[in-house]
Amino acid sequence: MLEILRNRTFRRLFAAQVVALVGTGLLTVALGLLAYDLAGARAGVVLGTALALKMVAYVLVAPVISAVTDRVPRRALLVGADVVRAAIAPMLPFVDQPWQIYVLIFALQSASATFTPAFQSVIPSVLVDEEDYTRGLSLSRLAYDLESLLSPVLAAALLVVMTYNYLFLGTMVGFVISASLVVATALPVIAPADRSVPLVHRITLGSRVMSARPTLRGLLALNLVVASATGLVLVNTVVYVHDLLGDSNTGVAVALGLYGAGSMLVALTLPRMLDRIPDRRVMLTGAVLVPIGLAATAALLVADPGRSIGWVALAVIWLALGAGTSLINTPSARLLRSASEPANRAAVFTAQFSLSHACFFVTYTIAGWVGATAGQPSAAVLLTVLATLAGLVAGRVWPTQPRQIEAVPQKGCER
């Protein structure tokens, strides 16, 4: 799998992705601790609202930016987004009210809503061979797992010698390094967009492509499965560790790291697995594993809402949830690539980014607000039901032998 790093362009883009995500991982840990300092046991409400606003930015901003900037060179777009994120991150340590968190997170994540779809849509043109692309996706998945594995481990080590406020500076450094690497990379040229098409049509193009193709309709349902697990873990881990386990800030980082470890283990094995097993079977296996993990969490909480989750149970469940989400997430870009064409690929990747995060908006809100008002058992049960129903829908709408659309890659580089 590491042989793919011989491709110079992909190697630099991958490095930029890694350092940016390490910084984002530090931000995730620090934001949870900041929310707990400001709101105590109601940290789930603050963090859930902040993450919900992040999803609003992703859902509303991503398709609009993609359509408006369809003729902007990808390098300029990626660097500009990194610069904005690097400028905002150092402001977070100075907030003392939840509403300030909300404003800054919305601005920062609007920049992320610009960066991520543009980055993802470039990779298919960099790695044109299907086998290379699969391996590139697995490495990219590993990079995302750094946010929930290596970054929390790094955060745990840093928290021994400094307060969590300094983690926000690490976030800024990650974005600065990412921008520097992108500046030094020649990226594939994207065909000029047809500006004779109305703006509204361009904004909705990706969503219309996804809704018209059964394979991608199945992917839309699987997005809700992933979001259910991610919402529970990212929003309520800090509450579980502090209030149900009585552990420290370092424990929060360790718990998030366990979730990332499950995802990373799957990402390491998927390239060979996908050579032998169809994407559909792999992804629907994840759609079974996630509800099982969520149901186990709900069962433990319902059995004894006061203090029921021990470290062993939490570790096993978080590893399983991480593995299940990776079984769905890692192959998803293969579906997007095969069901799109160069002319609409950026729009399709943007639509997946936007619509998947619409699911996160729902589940983050449930995890935060339902957990705080109706109790953690109720939130876990509701997320279990959502994931189960979404998995059943995906299996029903996704045909067993979908028609594959091979796209012809475009040539050329930005200079």
Domain boundaries, the chain: 2-189+200-397
pLDDT at position 295 over 90: yes
pLDDT at position 408 over 70: no
pLDDT confidence band for 15 (50 / 70 / 90): confident
Token digits of residue 151: 């970054």
Which one-letter DSSP state was computed for residue 370?
A: I
Among 21-25, 258-262, 278-282, 296-300, the least confident range: 21-25
Token digits of residue 249: 């800030």
Question: Under a CB-based contact definition with an 8 Å cutoff, are residues 293 and 229 in contact?
Answer: yes
Among 105-114, 116-125, 138-147, 286-295, the least confident range: 138-147
Best mean pLDDT range from 94-108, 317-331, 335-349: 317-331
- CA angle centred on 356, ends 395 and 99, rounded to 5°: 145
pLDDT confidence band for 386 (50 / 70 / 90): very high
Question: Under a CB-based contact definition with an 8 Å cutoff, are residues 214 and 398 in contact?
Answer: yes
Mean pLDDT for the stretch of residues 313-326: 92
pLDDT at position 299 over 50: yes
Token digits of residue 98: 């939840």
Q: What percent of the chain has pLDDT over 90?
A: 18
pLDDT (0 to 100) of residue 119: 82
What is the C-alpha separation between 198 and 184, in angstroms, rounded?
A: 34
Average pLDDT of the chain, as a whole number: 80
pLDDT (0 to 100) of residue 232: 92
- The residue ranking higher by pLDDT, 77 or 135, is 77
Query: Whole-model pTM?
Result: 0.70
- The residue ranking higher by pLDDT, 215 or 228, is 228
Mean pLDDT for the stretch of residues 146-175: 75
Q: Which CATH number fits domain 2-189+200-397: 3.30.379.10, 1.20.1250.20, 3.40.50.720, 3.40.50.1970?
A: 1.20.1250.20
Per-residue pLDDT reduced to its tens digit, 53-69: 777 877 887 777 777 76
pLDDT (0 to 100) of residue 2: 65
pLDDT confidence band for 225 (50 / 70 / 90): very high
Question: Which residue matches tokens 């060179």?
Answer: 73
Among 3-12, 272-281, 382-391, 403-412, the least confident range: 403-412
pLDDT (0 to 100) of residue 248: 64
- Scanning 242-344, the segments in alpha helix (DSSP H) are 249-276, 279-303, 311-338
pLDDT at position 240 over 90: no
pLDDT at position 334 over 70: yes
Contacts of 152 (CB under 8 A, 6+ apart): 25, 28, 29, 252, 253, 254, 256, 257, 260
